[in-house]
Chains A and B, each alone.
Chain A
Amino acid sequence: MTAKPMTAAGASRASVLFPAIAAFAIGFGLIFMSGLVQAETLHDAAHDVRHATGFPCH
């Protein structure tokens, strides 16, 4: 196997993947919680936002 010199893009690609996945998951969690979870208190508090943002509400 020939050793491939690590490029700048290659080096940053490795250090981007996990942080990006983590941030993406947190972002999704925020949207899921405010937009889709049906727990009553959450639903009532976010009611108008869910309608106005086009999430399925009730």
Chain B
Amino acid sequence: MTPPMTCVTRPASPATDMFSRILTSGLIAGAATGLIAALLQLWFVQPVLLHAELYESGQLAHFGAEAVSAHQDLGPFEWTRNMLSVLFTMMVYAGYGLMLVALMALSEAQGNAVTARQGLLWGLAGYLTMQLAPAFGLAPEVPGVAAADVQLRAIWWLGTAAATGLALWLVAFGKGWAAWGVAIVLILAPHVIGAPQPDSYAGPVPPELSAEFAGRALGAGAMAWALLGLLAGWFWQRESQRAPVPQAA
């Protein structure tokens, strides 16, 4: 005689369950933040970018015979272009969200509680890692500025993000001066080595626009990362509370 079925769905293994919880929290927090980040960028960053493109394309010339008005008609709203930007911003932030929640899960398994409030700190650390530290060497570029080879910059960018992220983990969870010493070296090393720089300055875009663009890009990034951290922490805490508590053997 077969015993009566008491459970309709087969319980998932702890690892599968954990994977789906990380995926759910990370993707939802990331996509929601991505949408807000995209709106912030379209509102505050995109006009500066479009303005700079007028100089990149040669429609306007900086230091020509006459002074150029700082107020230009930037054309109508480009739906295809801007919707692609919304889509890709959501993808980028979904990626950030997954990485952030994966690390939150690892840290929680080591006994560190993660809440929305803690999440704010995680978001700040993510911002330092993925935006501010790389920007210290390679400021967010407006189109049409002079820059070194893109592959070299990508390698330096990735190396800086990896080193800074690892360093911040060591600052937060390392115990003692050995860990903190390594963290200091990791934070400084990419900038002591130095980011790849162009051989000459040949950008046609006015420095005022470049500076405004860098400030706007970093500012919008800071807002978005704060939100991402909050949301990721909140969703993760909510998922953790729903999960069965692992039983001590």
Contact = CB atoms under 8 A, between A and B. Distances in A.
Contacts of B96: 27, 31
A20 B105 contact: yes
Given A23-B26, A51-B140, A16 B106 contact: yes
Interface residues of B, number: 64
Interface in B89-111: 89, 91-92, 94-103, 105-106, 108-111
Contacts of A54: 131, 134-135, 138-140, 217-218, 221
B245 A8 contact: yes
Contacts of A12: 14, 109, 246
Contacts of A30: 91-92, 94-95, 98
Contact of A51 (B111, B143, B153): B143
Interface stretch (B41-49, B166-174, B176-184): B41-49
B45 A29 contact: no
B85 A27 contact: no
Contacts of B15: 15, 18-19
Nearest to A45: B84
B192 interface: no
A56 B49 CA distance: 15
Central interface residue in B105, B147, B213, by most chain A CB within 10 Å = B105
Interface of A: 5-9, 11-13, 15-24, 26-31, 33-36, 38, 45-46, 48-49, 51-58
Given A8-B246, A21-B102, A27-B100, 18 more contacts: A8-B245, A11-B14, A12-B109, A15-B18, A16-B105, A19-B19, A19-B102, A22-B19, A30-B92, A30-B98, A49-B89, A51-B49, A51-B143, A53-B217, A54-B134, A54-B135, A54-B221, A55-B157
